[in-house]
Amino acid sequence: MADSTAQPSRSRDLDKLLLRPGHLVGPNFEPGAELRDDIKTYAKVLVVGAGGLGCELLKDLALSGFCNLEVIDMDRIEVSNLNRQFLFRLEDVGKPKAEVAAKRVMERVSGVDIVPHFCRIEDKELDFYSDFNIIVLGLDSIEARSYINAVACGFLEYDSDDNPREETFKPMVDGGTEGFKGHARVIVPGVTPCFECTIWLFPPQVKFPLCTLAETPRSAAHCIEYAHLIKWDEVHVGKTFDPDNPEHMQWVYSEAVKRAELFGIPGVTYSLTQGVVKNIIPAIASTNAIISAACTLEALKIASGCSKTLSNYLTYNGVEGLHTKVTEFVKDNDCLVCGPGVLIELDTSVTLRKFIDLLEEHPKLLLSKASVTHRGKNLYMQAPPVLEEMTRSNLDVALFDLMDKIPKDIVHVTGTAGKSGDKQSCLRKLRVAFKGINGVTEMDMAGGA
């Protein structure tokens, strides 16, 4: 299709949202062609994951007027992906998902630029993430979500009145599917609950007792977990099981079959073995399509203000009939990841010992016996004795020096708070700012950019 004919038809539906005023629009919404063009030019969106959701997300975002996209995924294409990861073909098997997905969408949607990143999310520096205006997640694990959430919340800054500074917002849209079920949620750190605020809502993983696996298996899954968790270590001393290695998986499968025969248990198959070991639930293409559509619409609303955003957690269940529901989760103000923490201003000469004493007197903290950690370094540990001994010499060093002379940074402290008799253990986030360092402190604290 020639560009001249493609352009008007491509943005026709989008124009209905972006070129006209409406009742549900945001307060700063300015409809018009400029808005549409600005989204094209300035909105940079990162898609995390190029799997079932990622393929859909890239296609949807590209068709919704986003032209600057990047995608990150560490996986290569497998045959079993092809039924739903529609950007991939049989000849792509073995190639990096991010690269093929980017190429295919760029071939089909003119004017869209997608930069692929074939690596782990942890391999990228924070600067990489700071470049994007919106991060859209198509992930399959709590761990990866928690990581990206911590990164995005890490950009958030608060002013001296503990109000989040809008220019440091890094909005995320998180999608997830599991068979016929799915969710889409909007996370604006500082405004909505972050991933960590509600992580306790996840149910614990189902884990079988080891002695059941070893002694009294009753199901096919028990036999598979026996081969995976017990038999593997018995036979392969010092060699770690790799779920992505087909030889390893085949070995576990054949051991599970032997085990099942021994106990007369039916139902062990290769695909069940993969499912149990890798926690795989069969994916449904249309669930991915629905969730991805919801996520893309949210990204468009965040960028343009053309309507209220989802507030803030949509669940979709197609198992029996069809149920969807939007729930507004509430932010945890004491969240260690997205919360403001307690602002503490100090002179550069204050020693760690003096700092720990100050925490005890601070009206918002009243924290005694504090252990202090900064950027992964344990500055002082009250216990166990071995760590107390290793960190004791820091007590008489200036905190400013222990914090590598950074004028303003986050410090975490653990200790006990409350009146004697009602002492409670607590873990707090502090925003430590040193007075009079190059004027940076005062300026930042005033809330100016």
Partner 1 sequence: MKVQNYVSDEVNIAKFAVNFTISFFFGVMGDKCLNLRASLVPGLFRTDVKGRLSMIKLFKVKEKQRELAENSNGKPPVKKQSAGELRLHRDISELNLPKTCSISFPNGKDDLMNFEVTIRPDEGYYNGGIFVFTFQISPIYPHEAPKVKCKTKVYHPNIDLEGNVCLNILREDWKPVLNINTIIYGLYHLFTEPNHEDPLNPDAAGVLRDNPKLFESNVRRAMAGGYVGQTFFTRCI
Active site residues: 211
> Please, what is the minimum distance in Å from the beta carbon of residue 91 to partner 1?
28
Backbone angles phi, psi at 102, to 5 degrees: -60, -45
> Please, what is the minimum distance in Å from the beta carbon of residue 364 to partner 1?
19
User: Is residue 201 close enough to count as binding partner 1 by CB under 8 A?
Assistant: yes
Site string for partner 1, 394-433 (x = CB under 8 A): ------------------x-xx---------x-x------
Backbone torsion region of residue 65, taken as left when φ is above 0, otherwise alpha when ψ lies between -120 and 50, otherwise beta:
left
Q: How far is CA 37 from its chain centroid?
A: 29
Stretch that binds partner 1, among 3-11, 55-63, 95-103, 183-191 (CB under 8 A): 183-191
Site string for partner 1, 145-164 (x = CB under 8 A): -xx--xx--x----------
Three-state secondary structure string covering 35-95: HHHHHHHHCEEEEECCCHHHHHHHHHHHHCCCCEEEEECCCECCHHHCCCCCCCCHHHCCC
Stretch that binds partner 1, among 73-81, 253-261, 351-359, 370-378 (CB under 8 A): 370-378
Chosen residue from 8, 264, 384, 439 binding partner 1 by CB under 8 A: 384
> Please, what is the minimum distance in Å from the beta carbon of residue 90 to partner 1?
25
| Separation CA 313–CA 304 (nearest Å) | 20
| Separation CA 339–CA 331 (nearest Å) | 9
Rounded to a whole number of angstroms, the distance between the first and last alpha carbons of the chain is 45
Interaction residues for partner 1, span 121-140 (CB under 8 A):
125-127, 131, 133-134, 139-140
Backbone angles phi, psi at 424, to 5 degrees: -130, 140
> Please, what is the minimum distance in Å from the beta carbon of residue 170 to partner 1?
10
> Please, what is the minimum distance in Å from the beta carbon of residue 276 to partner 1?
10
Interaction residues for partner 1, span 324-343 (CB under 8 A):
324-330, 336-337
Question: Which residues are bridge partners to 13 per DSSP?
Answer: none
Distances (CA, A) of 57 to 142, 194, 324, 342: 19, 21, 20, 38
Stretch that binds partner 1, among 59-67, 178-186, 239-247, 251-259 (CB under 8 A): 178-186
